[in-house]
Amino acid sequence: MDDLVEPLPPTGSLSLLESAQVVVPCIDIAETLAFFTDRLGFRVRMISPADDPAMVVIDGLGVQLRLQRVRPDTMFTPPTLHILCSAPSTVAAGATQMVAPNGSTIILLPSDPPLDIPPIQQSFVVSRAGGTPSFNLGRAGMGYRDLIPGRQGGRFIASHIRIEDGGPVPDYVHFHKVRFQMIFCHRGWVKLVYEDQGEPFILHAGDCVLQPPEIRHRVLECSPGLEVIEVGCPAVHDTYADPATSLPTGRLDPLRDFGGQRFVRHVAAEAAWHAARIDGFEYRDLGISDATDGLAGVRVMRPVHNGSAPTTESAPGAHSGEFLFLLVRQGTASLHADGEQRVDLAEGDAVVIPAGAVHRWTEASSNLELLEVSLPALITHEPRPVGHNADVATQ
């Protein structure tokens, strides 16, 4: 069977390719042609033979079709065409689907569909990094490991992304249709460039960026063994290539609004530490709460040392938000939460704690660091008793 498979053309010959056509079989070619030209605005490019057309090439809406006449007793499967339009229901008198005379299905889709954010389904999740974790091959050759398999009903995704080989990354200028998305560099370094944010820069371990909705960006190169943590909402979202945009743009506009958010680049080496809402811990804020107007908050927490032994246990707390994700960046600790047995966590492990679940940390190692992502952002004031909505309150 292998000898029946045509080899791929040599790379150098690709410049000889000029156009492509989708074959549309039809018994009555005149009737089908009238449908595409009169109803959908396609134009005739070639017809043969003129006295009794058996083949007509038409184009429109970015596609070229080859209407091919077939015998009435020929078995064929009519193709399905998706047509994007600004108002699908007005094109076909309220319908979102049409059927051509040859049986082809025309499905009308919105060209700019609204963002679909599924209802939240909160649950307690523990994701382990030990052993040999499985990574799926994703976009631009990157390996993806899902840190929230249930994805909280499809509302949130947290991915551990890895690039084993260093050097240039085969990425392209693109953007995401999202409600929220951030990238935290866990290990190694990565070179990135963003729309209207100046020249490319290096994101080192501990650094973070907020990627506002639809900001154009590109991954340029990275160190061997790069690992980043990406958290976003919704879990399933569209990524669009944008070959028309060249980065960098030559502009620097740090206050530019992208869907109600601003770009953030947090540099860990320049960050200040503050007393955390959890007694005995301190945190560095990554600036995402301000840039999203409280939609989300991201911080790194660690035990306070103060020249003596660090705190190893936190007071109990709870939150009333829609999402609280924590990843052990380094060190170890034990988590105790409502209805769950003690969970011992090590570097790379992640948890999601649902709203209302009273939880506390114990046996925190002196080098513990926790990456915390919350929606909405959490208030940073001193903790209050749990019965009064406590040490994890939402803005």
Q: Classify residue 161 by burial, with Cβ atoms within 10 Å: 0-12, 13-18, 19+.
A: buried
> In the prediction, which pLDDT does 94 show?
73
The size of the chain, in residues, is 395
Asked whether residue 32 is domain-assigned, the answer is: yes
Number of neighbours of residue 392 by Cβ within 10 angstroms = 25
Tell me the sheet residues that pair with 183.
Answer: 209, 230
| pTM for the whole structure | 0.84
256 with 363, same domain? yes
Domain boundary among 46, 76, 110: 110
The number of beta carbons lying within 10 Å of the beta carbon of residue 298 is 26
| CATH number of the domain where residue 308 is located | 2.60.120.10
* Whether 81 and 150 share a structural domain: no
Asked if 263 and 131 sit in the same domain, the reply is yes
One domain for residues 314 and 213: yes
Same domain, 201 and 73: no
One-letter amino acid for residue 354 of the chain: P
Give the range of the structural domain holding residue 83, as residue numbers without chain letter. Answer: 20-110
Asked, for residue 7, whether it belongs to a domain, the answer is no
- Do residues 103 and 119 both lie within one domain? no
CA distances from 379 to 182, 253, 277, 372 (A): 19, 28, 8, 13
Question: Do 159 and 231 share a domain, yes or no?
Answer: yes
How many whole angstroms separate alpha carbon 249 and alpha carbon 196? Answer: 6
Question: Which of these three, 82, 110, 138, is where a domain ends?
Answer: 110
**The predicted structure's pLDDT at residue 247:** 97
At which of 50, 76, 110 does a domain end? 110
Amino acid at 169: V
**Torsion-angle region of residue 389: left (phi > 0), alpha (psi -120 to 50) or beta?**
left
Asked whether residue 14 is domain-assigned, the answer is no
Compute, in degrees rounded to 10, the torsion defined by CA atoms 318, 324, 329, 333: 30
Ordered mean pLDDT values, 10 residues apiece, the chain (395 residues): 61 80 95 95 95 95 95 92 86 82 93 92 92 76 90 96 91 96 97 98 98 97 96 95 96 96 97 81 93 96 72 81 96 86 92 93 91 86 33 33
In the chain, the amino acid numbered 36 is F
Same domain, 45 and 76: yes
To the nearest 5 percent, what fractions of the chain are helix, strand and coil?
10, 40, 50
How much is the pLDDT for 391? 36
The answer as to whether 3 is a domain residue is: no
**DSSP letters for 97-142:** EEE-TTS-EEEEEESSPPP--PPP----EEE---S----EE-GGG-
With respect to residue 11, please indicate whether it lies within any of the assigned structural domains. no
Distances (CA, A) of 71 to 47, 74, 349: 18, 5, 63
Do 143 and 276 lie in a common domain?
Answer: yes
Q: Both 97 and 142 in a single domain?
A: no
Q: Are residues 101 and 129 in the same domain?
A: no
Residue 258 lies inside a defined structural domain of this protein = yes
In a domain, 10, yes or no: no
| Bond prior to 168 in cis (omega within 30° of 0) | no
Element containing residue 230 per DSSP (H, E)? strand 226-233
Helices (H) and strands (E) in the chain, counts: 3, 30
DSSP string, 40-90: T--EEEEEE-SSS-SEEEEEETTEEEEEEE--TT------EEEEEES-HHH
Do residues 304 and 388 both lie within one domain? yes
In the chain, what's the furthest Cα-to-Cα distance? 96
Closest to 169 (Cα-Cα) out of 186, 184, 189, 183: 189
Give the CA-trace dihedral at 143, 149, 155, 160, to 10 degrees: -30
As for how many domains the chain has, the answer is: 2
**Separation between Cα atoms, residue 122 and residue 9, nearest integer Å:** 50
Alpha-helical (H) ranges within the chain are 29-34, 88-91, 288-291
- Is 148 contained in some domain? yes
In this structure, what are the phi and psi dihedrals at residue 88, rounded to the nearest 5 degrees?
-55, -40
CATH of the domain at 54: 3.10.180.10
